[in-house]
Amino acid sequence: MKRSKANDIIQYAIDVMKKAGYPLPPFAYYEKADWEKLGEDEIELVENMLGWDITDFGSGDFDHIGLTIFTFRNGNFWAKDKYPKPYAEKYLLVNDGQILPFHYHWSKMEDIINRGGGDLEITLYNSTEEDFKDVEGGRSGKPGQFADTPVTVTIDGKAVTVPAGGKVVCKPGQSITLKPGQYHQWQGVPGTGDVILFEVSTTNDDTIDNRFHTAGERIPTMEEDVEAKYLMFADYPKYTKFDFIKHD
């Protein structure tokens, strides 16, 4: 992905929130120079991967297959004594018609809340027991497996069961709870507008806890055609004096 495209995507996500009347925290507006002088008192931003995140899932076509993410808060799998927070919160922007490819999480349970804009259509499958247990295979890019079993999710406190590959729609104000091992793909219903989602979940680490069915890389490789304006969490080790907490 070109850096110029990433700059535009983040600026658009900021503008959407301003128009909707949702203020973002100060670090959402930090530019490269702010990150370069980041002090020890804000090391949590780096170590817990807070801030902006963009992905096209290796498609090379962000406008069709992609997602814009801003992480407000998060704990840390690898430093629970230092960061005992057991939850995370994110802003997810799904552009009109944009698709998030099939995936699930091994550890994270999440509530996806439609805070406004368009409708979100979600397609659901359970993973097979073999697929869910094959953690290393999933992380190496081995194709996932859909189970041919009904999927039960909770939508605003109501249990809803659909057949394998069934769809549900979350309109503004509605939310869905997704459990580990539940494959989900979503799309902003074309013609209904951009979808402002908030995600409330258990602590997560997007570098290791996404099991994609067939999608490509989660963290895009950047082509630095222009200077970065707003950084993504993957940029922090390059532009700050801090790094992520390492894990085995």
pLDDT for res 217: 80
pLDDT for res 246: 74
pLDDT for res 207: 83
Residue 9's φ and ψ, nearest 5 degrees, are: -65, -45
What's the CA gap between 190 and 97, in Å, rounded?
A: 4
Domain ranges of the chain: 1-237
pLDDT for res 212: 92
What's the CA gap between 155 and 45, in Å, rounded?
A: 32
Output the six-digit token pair for 56: 């096209």
Q: Which long-range contacts (CB under 8 A, 24 or more apart) does 164-170 make?
A: 164/124, 164/125, 164/126, 165/123, 165/124, 165/125, 166/123, 166/124, 167/121, 167/122, 167/123, 167/124, 168/121, 168/122, 168/124, 169/119, 169/120, 169/121, 169/122, 170/112, 170/114, 170/119, 170/120, 170/122
pLDDT for res 208: 87
Residue 22's φ and ψ, nearest 5 degrees, are: -105, 105
Q: Tell me the CATH class for 1-237.
A: mainly beta
Of the candidates 64, 66, 57, 78, the residue with the CA atom closest to the CA atom of residue 210: 57
Which amino acid, one-letter code, is at 15?
A: D
Q: How far is CA 140 from CA 37, 136, 184, 213, in A?
A: 36, 6, 20, 12
pLDDT for res 248: 58
| Residue matched to tokens 């074309």 | 190
CA 115 to chain centre: 16
What is the DSSP code (8-state) at residue 65? B
Average pLDDT by consecutive 10-residue portion of the chain (248 residues)?
Answer: 97 98 98 97 97 94 97 95 97 98 96 98 97 89 94 98 98 98 98 98 90 85 96 96 83
Q: SS3 of 66, please?
A: coil
